[in-house]
Amino acid sequence: MDSKLILITAVIIVSGCSQLPSNGNQGTTSEPQQVSGKGLEVTEFRVSDQTMSPGQTVNVELTLKNYHREEIDIGNIALFNLGLLESSDKSCEPQEIGSAEQGIYPVMECSWRLTAPSEDQIGGFEQRQSTISANIPYDSVLQNYQPMTVKFLPLEEINSTSKQAMSFSNGEVGVNMEVETPIPLEQQKAMSFQVSKEGSGRINGSYEFEYSPSSVFIEEECPSSDDPVIRDSLDFSCTIQAEGTQEVERNLFFTVRYKYIKAPSTGITIVNN
């Protein structure tokens, strides 16, 4: 039962900073990784009793914690792979999950009632094992909250260049941005991007890309979307340019919007006593 979107595993990315010395074109400067959190995390998915008798009813509990700083739209959360088990309608509290703010991570709790089949439905089996899953689709977003600051200089003032890079992730998707700096004023320069799927969930549909500021990124030279269905990692470039005659610095931001689906599982055994 596929829905729209994605979900996160509990992957923790620790921010770090590495500096390599500039040495002509050989040096690389990496800015600190920008970590927006762990996305939407499944902190609990369990049944109240993993061994059921015919006709018995148990509770299924799902707890989500949101580390996203932006509002996310969660689609219809549903159980699947139920087999002979019968499920009640879900109950979620609250109905919508808020965004993370100043160390506060909103929680949503959902529950169902599962009823095991009768002895007649089970047949002559002594026991039956089943793995039930929850389909959790949602709209997600990743962006660098601290800018990638790039320097532009008059061509005659540039004696050497080095690669400048920034990486950031939310446990669902990771991004690496890289460009050779400083960049000559009035000249176009290609900035390379790598967008990679991370975590145990899956991307449903295409990535949508946004670049800021528009005065630096040349819109017609920058892809607005791409489809990651076949590949877990996308590589592309985008052209940037700054006008002027004197040294300037520009703060660059990149945003990826996408649909993500998580599908945690748990086991149940039906015992025919």
pTM given for the model: 0.80
**Same domain, residue pair 158 and 212:** yes
Residue 118 in domain: yes
Same domain, 200 and 266: no
Residue 128 has a pLDDT of 82
Q: In sequence order, what are the residues at sequence separation of 6 or more whose Cβ sits closer than 8 angstroms to the Cβ of residue 40? A: 7, 8, 64, 65, 66, 67, 68, 72, 74, 97, 136, 138, 140, 172, 260, 262
What's the rounded Cα separation, in Å, for the pair 193 and 237? 6
- Let me know if residue 96 belongs to a domain: yes
pLDDT means over runs of 10, the chain (273 residues): 34 30 38 54 94 93 91 92 92 91 91 91 78 95 93 96 95 95 97 93 94 97 88 92 95 96 94 80
Q: Report d(CA 165, CA 174) in Å as an integer.
A: 13
Q: Do 96 and 226 sit in the same domain of this protein? A: no
Q: What is the pLDDT of residue 35?
A: 39
Residue type, 86: E
Q: What distance in Å separates the CA atoms of residue 46 and residue 100, rounded to the nearest whole number?
A: 25
Asked if 108 and 166 sit in the same domain, the reply is no
In a domain, 11, yes or no: no
Residue 7 domain flag: no
- Residues 6+ positions from 103 with CB-CB distance below 8 Å: none
For residues 100 and 224, membership in a common domain is answered with no
Q: Are residues 70 and 117 in the same domain?
A: yes
Q: Which amino acid is at 256?
A: V
pLDDT for res 83: 87
Specify whether 47 is located in the same domain as 120.
Answer: yes
Task: Identify whether residues 181 and 214 lie together within a single domain.
Answer: yes
Structural domain count of the chain: 2
Asked whether residue 196 is assigned to any structural domain, the reply reads: yes
Assess contact for 39 and 140: CB atoms under 8 A.
yes
Strand partners, 240: 189, 217
Residue 6 lies in a domain: no
Q: Is residue 1 part of a domain?
A: no
Give the number of other CB atoms < 10 A from CB of residue 96.
11
- Cα distance from N-terminal residue to C-terminal residue, the chain: 32
Give exposure, 102-115, as e/b (b: 16+ Cβ within 10 Å). Answer: eeebbbbebebebb
The pLDDT value given to residue 119:
82
Residue 61 shares a structural domain with residue 106: yes
Instruction: For residue 112, give the amino acid letter.
Output: W
In whole angstroms, what is the distance from residue 170 CA to residue 168 CA? Answer: 7
24 and 120 housed in the same domain: no
What is the domain extent for residue 191?
20-34+144-257
Residue 242 shares a structural domain with residue 191: yes
Owner of token pair 């932006």: 70
Q: What is the CATH number of the domain that holds 115?
A: 2.60.40.740
The answer to whether residue 215 is domain-embedded is yes
**Would you say 80 and 135 are in contact if contact means Cβ atoms under 8 Å apart?**
yes
Q: Are residues 81 and 111 in the same domain?
A: yes
